[in-house]
Structure 1
Amino acid sequence: MYIKDNEGNIVRRDFYGGNLKGIIDKLGYLKKLGVSIIYLSPIFEASSNHKYDTGDYKKIDAMFGDEEIFKELLDKASKKGINIILDGVFSHTGADSIYFNKYNRYSELGAYQSEESRYNSWYKFNDYPDDYDCWWGVKSLPNVNELDPTYMDYIIKDDDSVLKRWTTMGVKGWRLDVADELPEKFIKEFKKELKGVADDTILIGEVWEDASNKISYNQRREYLLGEQLDSVMGYPFRSNIVSFLKSDIKSIDLLNRFMQIKENYPSEAFKSNLNLIGSHDVKRIKTELNEDKELVKLAVGIQMTFEGIPYIYYGDEAGVCGNTDPDNRRTYPWKKEDEDMIEYYRNLTTIRKKYKALIYGETSFIDTKNADVFAFIRKTEDEKMLIVVNRSEKENDIKLDLDENTIEEIDIESNLKKYIEDTFEDDRSFEVNIKAKSLKVFNLKNLIV
């Protein structure tokens, strides 16, 4: 939490939250939730509580622990089948850093202190030392020249570069903060070196729009053409889901929006898209949907059955509320969790892992001819799943024309087959009844010869 003055400068901070030991202690909880990857927001030394003002890229912030504790986390998480991804903030550093050292808190000679500093070429000074380029005008975040050779070496290329130091330790990927503000050459070099260290790693970018045709600083970006990002943060996914559940758009509009993204993205990128409904940059999903728990469950249900990678913002599964930053960074409500919501998440992650079509399957969309009901199919060669979502306050009957002659409903609460419905009609049509504000998952089969 932070307090600003009338000019928007941060004048006081309150620190609260967890640490790396706490994550280690809760690995069992995360495993039961179905988590296979933990993406950590910045953990490197920094003066703020959010840590996006890096002070030292090669040191764990003491608030969270130290390098030995981090290694312990990597080891124990790996034994549970959980990998760790780090947040890389490389478009700027902190003013209070070993590199800039505006407040003389580090023994290293910083760029602000002397033009003879070995870090001086990283920054652009308009009138040395107080007038310098900074991120969105925030003086505590001086921008860096990412293509400066010494910066590229320090972050990417040196034997003990930031990338190599933490990746060789066991980190399985990086999320690049504000990817739009990073030069393409920087991203390409980062990915090339990352894959050279370990080819089973992943590079994710913070991109808010359709990443296939994003124009940033008058340049069309090529994020998804193979040499840059493996995946992006799925903010369009969230926007689409929220718009539908708040009745701002109809089901056919949602279908068309998803189809546009699916057609624009390479198949590999669409399957690895981080489908988020919450993050530290937006309202909590429960708050966004006016604390309507039934609608929140619909959002989660779509997220867990849709093509891509479900991304859970800590605490959403426990019913945490919160407006925009910093209110959305509330601590996890231990012993005050919404146990029903946690169980709902667990049931959906179990179903997702049980039916491979929900992980690897292709997606086709169904025009239900009903503004309140959205439906889509996930399929592999061996499985075919139907998902139907009704946002309405009333139940709906939907007629669906399918290739199969049998549908089995999967009960989300019990993960059991609830009932089987057959059709002998030549047109293979089914009428599905779906209750108000509910989501159903069906297994489609041909059991009748």
Structure 2
Amino acid sequence: MNYRDITIEYNSFRESHKKPFGATRVNEGITFRILVENAKNAEVTLVIAKEGHGERYMRMNPVDKLHHSATYTADEAGLCFYFFIINYQDHDVHRTVYAGSPGHGIGGEQVIKENRWDITPYQITFHNYIKPAPSWYKETIFYQIFVDRFYNGNEDKRISSPKKNSFLYATWEDTPMYIKDCQGSIMRWDFFGGNLLGVMKKLDYLKELGIGGIYLNPIFKARSNHKYDTGDYMTIDEMFGDEETFQRLIEEAGKRGIRIVLDGVFNHVGADSKYFNAFGSYPELGAAESKDSPYYPWFNFFNYPSEYESWWGVKDLPNVNENNPSYRDFIVGKGGVIEKWTKMGIGGWRLDVADEMPDDFIKDIRSTMDGIAEDNILIGEVWEDASNKIAYGKRRRYLLGDEIHATMNYPFKDGVIAYLNGHVRARDLYTRFMSLKENYPREAFYSALNNLGTHDTKRIYTEIDDVTRLRVAVGMLLTFPGVPCIYYGDEAGMKGESDPYNRGPYPWGNEVEEVSDIYRKMMHLRNSDDAFTRGDFIPFYQENLFGYLRNTQDSTYLILINREPEEARLVVSDVIGLESVSDEMEGLLDDFYYLESTSFNCIKIR
């Protein structure tokens, strides 16, 4: 980058400037190399600080007339932040400039400022040894099921064990809705009647589709249809089935090579739970009924019993104190929740609102799981870049080696939708994805649970209301590093705005075949070559075109995406971001490719 009459070049994405690339093991040195040209008597200082510690100033050594170098080693896991000070002579005037990051948590080409306090430091993630996620998880395609809306497995289609103060739909094809009071609280929960037997009866469909993992929204006893208001952690909700049915589901899924992951909601429970029992629904003495209840210490009351800490102020979801010894032992102790269900043979857990759970509680969950089954997966719900997430004033440590294996990759979803809808440039998408690759330890990056939509977001076919662009989004989902997860019904062409419309019943027999065909073909592509599960990821861009390589020793795929509704000619030699491609790889790339209007192109080049 030229600044006045001098040139400064530093790009954290390039190993010629920072080696090794990306997140780094503790006690492994990182070498920084910056170019400063046409600056008389240039002196360069690397300023680096471990979070929570003071800054360290390291004079960089001249390597030649242009380059300055320094090596830094961290002795503990966590984030470090760094920038550069460049002092030089401009005629007879001493000048100082600063080189730093384009933005918080963003890497790439440096930004030059004259004021130290205008600089945003670069980030480095230092981590301990990370035990790899189980291979079955990294090599599969997941399918998320909102049980009440998937399929009713009862032969007569009756709804099992309807709940008090709820309403049932006249037909499976009805549109979901809420009945709320004047304060906005839900008065009547609505149910379609999907159950675990229904999931079991559709296992062959999922197997044929190419699914290897099912992520179930909560299935424990609760008053609502979504079950995030847990009533009893030790009991399957009677509308879904019972423990015997769930055991059969695990076994039948296993016969088809499919693993079941449960949704663990351990930050809060339902007001209508055996633990809180605000409505007297359970025979046990709940915390809201008496301070003598064994569950009373689990909750934080402000004005007993009507005012208490709850999830985002929702009175129906009282928060649990995860640091209470009794509660923690109930979840992770001998005979506790994690042990009981893990021993049944599930494939792992997804932690709801992981950013609202203490780090040491997550560690305890992971430790309990590892002590029962070494091939279980632990996934955390995190909506942002999980490497630098701050929650309640505290930097989280999800990815440093002893907590979760993976996080839900909402940044991927947000980036794809923003790009395809024309809200960001190809360069912006490249920077977003490269920054995730740089900030995440490799194991975490390749284990992220990627999605285009969940029960908490609009459906992807509503976000991108165009089959051509939808094909591009699905193609990216199934060829991107990490584990793709399909929200039930997306492959059938379901649409839906935010809750409750994104939670409609699966349209069995009324699928949009054009959309289903897109998913089938892209899933077949994903499962056809392990380049899409473990291959190197090398993104690049050119004007409005975005692309990436997925490369292993045995095969290489070139993914090219044309967002604009016109034909385009991609000249590979002109793209930005392929600096790390080897000479051997460059020899495999043709000079140019023609892209059709608004298209996803996956080209096997060896």
Q: Same fold (TM over 0.5)?
A: yes
Sort the Cα spacing of 1:179 and 1:405 in 2 relative to 1 into closer, same or farther, 3 A: closer
Equivalences, count: 424
Matches within 5 A, 1:69-84: 69-84=245-260
- 2:569 is equivalent to residue 393 of structure 1: no
Q: SS of 1:312's equivalent? A: strand
Q: Which has the higher contact order (CA 8 A, sep 6+)?
A: 2
C-alpha separation in 2, matches of 1:96 and 1:14: 16
Q: SS of 1:92's equivalent? A: coil
Contact 2:455–2:503 (Cα < 8 Å) also in 1? yes
- 2:421 is equivalent to residue 246 of structure 1: yes
C-alpha separation in 2, matches of 1:206 and 1:404: 36
Sort the Cα spacing of 1:441 and 1:155 in 2 relative to 1 into closer, same or farther, 3 A: same
The letter of the residue matching 1:321 is K
Specify the alignment match of 2:553 in structure 1.
381
C-alpha separation in 2, matches of 1:4 and 1:267: 46
- 2:350 is equivalent to residue 175 of structure 1: yes
Q: What do residues 266-295 of structure 1 show as CA deviations (whole Å, max 9, x unaligned)?
A: 000000011100101110011111x21111
Q: Using the TM superposition, give the Cα deviation of residue 404 of structure 1 relative to its aligned residue in structure 2, in angstroms.
A: 9.8
The letter of the residue matching 1:235 is Y
Sort the Cα spacing of 1:434 and 1:428 in 2 relative to 1 into closer, same or farther, 3 A: closer
Specify the alignment match of 1:65 in structure 2.
241
Sort the Cα spacing of 1:426 and 1:150 in 2 relative to 1 into closer, same or farther, 3 A: closer
Matches within 5 A, 1:287-306: 287-289=462-464, 291-306=465-480
The letter of the residue matching 2:556 is K
Matches within 5 A, 1:6-405: 6-158=182-334, 160-289=335-464, 291-367=465-541, 369-371=542-544, 373-401=545-573
Q: SS of 1:58's equivalent? A: strand
C-alpha separation in 1, matches of 2:230 and 2:343: 21
The letter of the residue matching 1:149 is P
Q: Using the TM superposition, give the Cα deviation of residue 427 of structure 1 relative to its aligned residue in structure 2, in angstroms.
A: 9.9
Q: SS of 1:187's equivalent? A: helix
Q: What do residues 354-376 of structure 1 show as CA deviations (whole Å, max 9, x unaligned)?
A: 11111111100122x221x2110
C-alpha separation in 1, matches of 2:543 and 2:301: 58
Contact 2:216–2:262 (Cα < 8 Å) also in 1? yes
Q: What do residues 218-256 of structure 1 show as CA deviations (whole Å, max 9, x unaligned)?
A: 000010011111111111000000010001111111111
Q: What do residues 346-396 of structure 1 show as CA deviations (whole Å, max 9, x unaligned)?
A: 2212221111111111100122x221x211001111111110111111111
- 2:433 is equivalent to residue 433 of structure 1: no
Q: Using the TM superposition, give the Cα deviation of residue 432 of structure 1 relative to its aligned residue in structure 2, in angstroms.
A: 0.8
C-alpha separation in 1, matches of 2:588 and 2:375: 46
Specify the alignment match of 2:49 in structure 1.
none
C-alpha separation in 2, matches of 1:246 and 1:23: 34
C-alpha separation in 1, matches of 2:184 and 2:431: 40
Gaps in structure 2 of 5+ consecutive residues = 1-176
C-alpha separation in 1, matches of 2:240 and 2:488: 16
Q: Using the TM superposition, give the Cα deviation of residue 135 of structure 1 relative to its aligned residue in structure 2, in angstroms.
A: 1.1
Sort the Cα spacing of 1:106 and 1:14 in 2 relative to 1 into closer, same or farther, 3 A: same
Contact 1:398–1:432 (Cα < 8 Å) also in 2? yes
Q: SS of 1:12's equivalent? A: strand
Sort the Cα spacing of 1:23 and 1:427 in 2 relative to 1 into closer, same or farther, 3 A: closer
The letter of the residue matching 1:101 is N
C-alpha separation in 2, matches of 1:42 and 1:233: 16
Sort the Cα spacing of 1:84 and 1:428 in 2 relative to 1 into closer, same or farther, 3 A: closer
Q: Using the TM superposition, give the Cα deviation of residue 5 of structure 1 relative to its aligned residue in structure 2, in angstroms.
A: 2.6
The letter of the residue matching 1:44 is F
Greater fraction helix: 1
C-alpha separation in 2, matches of 1:8 and 1:229: 35
Sort the Cα spacing of 1:126 and 1:435 in 2 relative to 1 into closer, same or farther, 3 A: same
C-alpha separation in 2, matches of 1:327 and 1:219: 35
Sort the Cα spacing of 1:365 and 1:126 in 2 relative to 1 into closer, same or farther, 3 A: same
Specify the alignment match of 2:94 in structure 1.
none
Q: Using the TM superposition, give the Cα deviation of residue 10 of structure 1 relative to its aligned residue in structure 2, in angstroms.
A: 1.4
Q: Using the TM superposition, give the Cα deviation of residue 17 of structure 1 relative to its aligned residue in structure 2, in angstroms.
A: 4.5
Greater fraction strand: 2
The letter of the residue matching 2:398 is Y
Flag the structure with larger Rg: 2
Q: SS of 2:339's equivalent? A: helix
Contact 2:193–2:239 (Cα < 8 Å) also in 1? no
Q: Using the TM superposition, give the Cα deviation of residue 66 of structure 1 relative to its aligned residue in structure 2, in angstroms.
A: 0.7
C-alpha separation in 1, matches of 2:603 and 2:321: 52
Sort the Cα spacing of 1:113 and 1:434 in 2 relative to 1 into closer, same or farther, 3 A: same
Sort the Cα spacing of 1:336 and 1:128 in 2 relative to 1 into closer, same or farther, 3 A: same
Gaps in structure 1 of 5+ consecutive residues = 408-424
Name the % identity: 49
Q: SS of 2:262's equivalent? A: strand
The letter of the residue matching 2:417 is V
C-alpha separation in 2, matches of 1:279 and 1:426: 41
Q: Using the TM superposition, give the Cα deviation of residue 433 of structure 1 relative to its aligned residue in structure 2, in angstroms.
A: 1.0
Between 396-405 and 240-249, report the one with greater CA deviation. 396-405
Q: Using the TM superposition, give the Cα deviation of residue 430 of structure 1 relative to its aligned residue in structure 2, in angstroms.
A: 2.4
Sort the Cα spacing of 1:259 and 1:428 in 2 relative to 1 into closer, same or farther, 3 A: closer
C-alpha separation in 1, matches of 2:188 and 2:588: 67
Q: SS of 1:260's equivalent? A: helix
Calculate the aligned-residue CA RMSD, in Å: 1.8
C-alpha separation in 2, matches of 1:9 and 1:361: 48
Q: Using the TM superposition, give the Cα deviation of residue 309 of structure 1 relative to its aligned residue in structure 2, in angstroms.
A: 0.6
